[in-house]
Structure formats: structure tokens, C-alpha cells
């Protein structure tokens, strides 16, 4: 059998991408205030800004869309989705939302209050922002290995159990629940082991605290467990996912990732402790409990997508995609978060721009260079995303300067990745001429989405 892991699908419908010149891209980026979020997608060649909601749906999902029932209350589409979610999670209460951050907003509003602390391996930016908005401290407790990009460890998304226990002992009263993000997006798309999920659940339960999992990429996490954790090689991704969910009391899901849909999310609850306030908030903010923030057709596409996202051939190809680009970067001597995560490659900008001070935002600078030189749109995961400008005008910086290239599901083929590796090599060759930026305008929260920048000379 040939060794190449192929895209396990044929292409049935195509979408052209537009080739632009370097001069055009430089002008477009400057018009976008040096912020790739402000570019028009049609001006991007390889759009690896995010894997969220950007993937291709299958023929079966499009077919399911026609079956969507748009009844306001009690649509069969809701019950079909509920059956799939119950099978995977074992949790009875499904609360659909329009996307992941809405699930966070609704659940956190019901489950926490100002002055509390919520520990996690690493909070995603919207998770952190939703907690901080409520006056809750969002604490990252990922293992030390998870903060060292070059270090190889099979489960760099694991939470540090000793620090979690210490926190529970010291601040137990202030902790409404603990969280685990699977896979750990901000930590490099790194998986959490089953042993760590189990131990986190046991530890939290010993202190009477529920475990809430952020499960956007639960299927990729399940496949990593199958490939890397002793004892799981013969399990199906579905069986592994079922065990993972078995340790949680609730979960928030952005279905735009492993739900394989373009929009959608949900909360699942094992018991009724937060059900009533969650449903009240849902009705206030999202919609009636059997559709949440979604149309019936979205619920149908998600019911099909959740199963497709657990398909083993798909997951093997999916994880191989990131690994393949990682191997090419390795050959070029470019640092990245190792081993490669599930949905993305996180380039360590410090290995490309070692001389650039952090105050010039090296990851942001690299991100801009990838667009100008190669038409590739990635996202900075560094001090623009996670740093802050304080009231006195000083800045806080993030511990890592990464550029995330996140891969939409079932969208790009191997030659796109070969092209990207060549473009990255060209950027590295001209690193000395890459300019940093200064932020000239920024909002108080989630500044990376909309800040405006200028070149530094």
C-alpha cells in the first residue's frame, strides 16, 4: 500500500482563488492598516486565518440542509441533532447557539459571577474575554512543556494538575468550575491526554467543582489520543470521544470546527444545575431552546457533520496535513510548535525574526510578510492578541510570538501546502528587511481583530 495519506474525498464543486501581485498585496495591506483581519478574502490566495467555519461541507450535509425543518418550536431537526449529540457526549441537555462564543456567554452568565476564578489549560481569546467581561479571572494552567514551542511532548495541552490542586486549596471558594480546552488552541492546537482529562475531572470533583470542557476540536483530540496514548490504538475516535465527554459535566462547542459546519455551536449539560438560567439567557439572547441561534437547516448540517468529523480516515488525513507542512518547515530550520497541532501549524516568529524586539510585534510582522510575499493569510497569536495596553500607556506581552496557519477542513490540497512552504522559505530569506509595527488605534478588548497599525522603520 503506498504510504501517502491522501485527501479522502473527491472534489465536486470548486471555488476559484485569485492570484495577486506582491505590489497589489502591499497596497492592500497598507489600506487594511497592516491588519490582515481587515483584508477582503478575495484578495487572499491561501486563507489560513482560521479553521473556524471555513471548511467545505459534504454532499451529505448539503442534502441534509434541504431536510431542515424551520418550525419555531420542536422541529425534528433539533431532535435529530440532539440524538447525535447525546450519542457522542452522553449528556442529555443540548442547548444550540449560533457559535462558540455565544455558548460561552450564555453558560458563563448562568454559572459564574464577578470576583471568581476559572482555571483552564489555556483559555481561548473569546473564552477569556467572556469571563473577564463578567469580572471573572481567566487563569491559564497549561503544563510547562506547553509553553516551550520547540519541545516535543505528546500532550502539550495537558493542564498542570499540581498547580490546579494548589489553586483549589487556596482559592476553592472562588472557583465555580474548572475548564479544559480540547485541543488547546492558544497553546498550539495541542491535545490533552485521556489520563489528564480523567485526572482533572477527579481532582475537580474531589473539591466539589464541575468540569466544563471547551470541545471545538474534540474529534482531533480523540484522534491524537488514538495515535499517541497507550491503550487507545484499537479504539475508534467515536469511542474515545465518548470516554472524553464521560469525564465532563458540561461543554461548550463551536461547531464551526469539528462540527464541520460554517456556523453553529452549542452547550451540553449533564444535569440540571445550570439548565434553567441557561435556557432563560438563551431565549433572551439567541432564540427558543430547540433552535437557539440557528436555522433548522444548520442543525441538520451539524448532525451530519459531527459524525463525519469523527471519521477515522478523515482524521488521519487531517492530522497528517499539519504534520506535512511541519516536516517542510523543519527541513528549512524554521521553528514551530512541536509536534504540530491538529488544525494548524504555529510558526515561532522568534526563529524567523530573532533580532526584532517584542515591542515591535514580531509575530504580527511575520504575518504581514507572509501575506505580502505569498498571499497567505495567517493570524498572529502573540503580543497583539494577548498583550494589553495599560492605563499608563505601557504594554504587557505574551509568552510566545506565534503565527498560526489554520487549515479549513477539506479545502486545500497538497500542492497548496507545497506552495506555502516555498513562500515561507522566501520570507525567511528576506527576514532582515521585514518591518515591525506600532499600534496606533485599538479597542479595549480583542484588539487584534480591529487594531490599526503603522510600519516601524
Ligand X SMILES: Cc1ncc(COP(=O)(O)O)c(C=O)c1O
Residue 342 binds ligand X (CB under 6 A): no
- Nearest to ligand X by Cβ — which residue? 100
**What whole-number distance in Å separates Cα of residue 149 and Cα of residue 152?**
8
When asked if residue 181 is in the footprint of ligand X (CB under 6 A), the reply is yes
At residue 442, what are phi and psi to the nearest 5 degrees?
-155, 145
Contact flag: residue 100 with ligand X (CB under 6 A): yes
Q: Which is nearer to ligand X, 126 or 196 (CB)?
A: 126
Q: Cβ of residue 357: shortest distance to ligand X, in angstroms? A: 29
CB of 233 to ligand X, least distance (A): 26
Residue 404 binds ligand X, judged by CB under 6 A: no
| # chain residues binding ligand X, by CB under 6 A | 14
* Residue 412 Cβ vs ligand X, minimum distance, rounded to whole Å: 18
Q: Cell numbers at residue 356, please?
A: 526584532
Closer residue to ligand X (CB): 53 or 374: 53
- Residue 356's nearest CA partner among 435, 423, 430 is 435
Query: Does 214 interact with ligand X (rule: CB under 6 A)?
Result: yes
3-state secondary structure of 47: strand
333: left (phi over 0), alpha (psi -120 to 50) or beta: left
Closest Cα partner for 271 from 302, 255, 248, 240?
A: 248
Judge whether 179 and 251 are in contact, CB under 8 Å.
no
CA distances from 425 to 7, 45, 373 (A): 25, 17, 10
Strand partners, 268: 94, 251
* Binder among 101, 270, 398, 448 for ligand X (CB under 6 A): 101
The reply to whether 188 sits near ligand X by the rule CB under 6 A is no
With binding defined as CB under 6 A, does residue 52 bind ligand X? yes
Question: 456556523: which residue's cell?
Answer: 263
Cα–Cα distance, 15 to 177 (Å, whole number)? 44
> Should residue 130 be labelled a site residue for ligand X when binding is judged by CB under 6 A?
no
Which one among 216, 299, 352, 372 touches ligand X, defined by CB under 6 A?
A: 216
Task: Indicate whether 185 belongs to the interface with ligand X (CB under 6 A).
Answer: yes
In the complex, the smallest distance separating the C-beta of residue 271 from ligand X, rounded to whole angstroms, is 23
Picking from 217, 423, 180, the residue whose alpha carbon sits closest to that of residue 319 is 217
127 binds ligand X (CB under 6 A): yes
Query: Residue 200, interface with ligand X (CB under 6 A)?
Result: no
List the interface residues with ligand X, window 418-447 (CB under 6 A). Answer: none
Does 265 participate in binding ligand X (rule CB under 6 A)? yes
Q: C-alpha cell of 70?
A: 424551520
Residues that bind ligand X (CB under 6 A): 52, 99-101, 124, 126-127, 181, 185, 214, 216, 254, 256, 265
Amino acid at each position: 500500500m503506498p504510504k501517502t495519506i491522501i485527501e479522502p474525498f473527491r472534489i465536486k464543486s470548486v471555488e476559484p482563488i485569485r492570484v495577486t501581485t506582491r505590489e497589489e498585496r502591499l497596497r492592500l495591506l497598507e489600506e487594511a492598516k497592516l491588519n490582515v483581519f481587515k483584508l477582503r478574502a478575495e484578495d487572499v490566495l491561501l486563507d489560513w486565518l482560521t479553521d473556524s467555519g471555513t471548511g467545505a461541507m459534504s454532499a451529505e450535509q448539503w442534502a441534509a440542509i434541504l431536510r431542515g425543518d424551520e418550525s419555531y418550536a420542536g422541529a425534528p431537526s433539533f431532535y435529530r441533532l440532539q440524538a447525535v449529540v447525546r450519542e457522542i457526549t452522553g449528556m442529555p441537555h443540548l442547548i444550540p447557539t449560533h457559535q462558540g462564543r455565544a455558548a460561552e456567554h450564555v453558560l458563563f452568565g448562568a454559572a459564574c459571577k464577578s470576583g471568581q476564578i476559572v482555571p483552564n489549560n489555556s483559555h481561548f481569546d473569546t473564552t477569556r474575554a467572556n469571563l473577564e467581561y463578567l469580572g471573572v479571572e481567566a487563569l491559564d494552567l497549561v503544563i510547562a512543556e506547553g509553553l516551550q514551542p520547540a519541545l516535543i511532548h505528546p500532550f502539550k495541552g495537558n493542564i498542570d494538575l499540581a498547580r490546579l490542586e494548589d489553586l483549589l486549596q487556596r482559592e476553592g471558594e472562588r472557583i465555580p468550575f474548572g475548564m479544559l480546552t480540547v485541543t488547546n488552541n492558544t497553546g498550539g492546537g495541542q491535545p490533552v491526554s485521556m489520563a489528564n482529562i480523567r485526572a482533572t475531572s477527579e481532582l475537580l470533583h474531589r473539591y466539589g467543582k464541575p468540569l466544563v470542557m471547551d470541545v471545538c476540536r474534540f474529534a482531533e483530540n480523540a484522534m491524537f489520543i488514538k495515535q499517541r496514548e497507550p491503550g487507545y490504538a484499537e479504539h475508534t475516535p467515536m469511542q474515545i470521544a465518548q470516554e472524553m465527554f464521560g469525564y465532563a459535566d458540561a461543554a461548550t462547542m463551536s461547531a464551526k470546527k469539528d462540527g464541520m459546519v460554517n456556523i453553529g455551536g452549542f452547550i451540553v449539560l449533564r444535569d440540571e444545575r445550570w439548565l434553567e438560567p441557561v435556557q432563560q439567557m438563551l431565549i433572551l439572547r439567541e432564540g427558543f431552546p430547540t433552535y437557539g441561534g440557528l436555522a433548522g437547516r444548520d442543525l441538520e448540517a451539524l448532525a451530519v457533520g459531527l459524525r463525519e468529523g469523527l471519521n477515522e480516515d478523515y482524521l488521519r488525513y487531517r492530522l497528517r496535513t499539519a504534520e506535512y507542512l511541519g516536516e517542510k518547515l523543519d527541513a528549512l530550520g524554521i521553528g514551530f510548535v512541536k509536534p504540530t497541532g491538529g488544525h494548524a501549524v504555529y510558526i515561532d516568529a522568534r526563529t524567523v525574526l530573532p533580532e526584532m524586539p517584542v515591542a515591535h510585534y514580531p509575530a504580527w510582522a511575520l504575518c504581514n510578510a507572509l501575506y505580502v510575499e505569498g498571499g497567505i493569510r495567517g493570524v498572529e497569536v502573540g503580543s497583539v492578541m494577548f498583550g494589553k495596553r495599560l492605563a499608563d500607556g505601557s504594554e504587557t506581552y505574551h509568552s510566545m510570538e506565534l503565527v498560526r496557519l489554520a487549515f479549513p477542513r477539506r479545502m486545500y490540497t497538497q500542492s497548496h501546502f507545497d506552495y506555502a512552504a516555498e513562500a515561507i522559505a522566501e520570507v525567511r530569506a528576506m527576514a532582515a528587511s521585514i518591518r515591525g509595527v506600532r499600534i496606533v488605534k485599538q479597542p479595549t478588548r480583542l484588539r487584534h481583530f480591529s487594531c490599526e497599525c503603522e510600519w516601524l522603520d
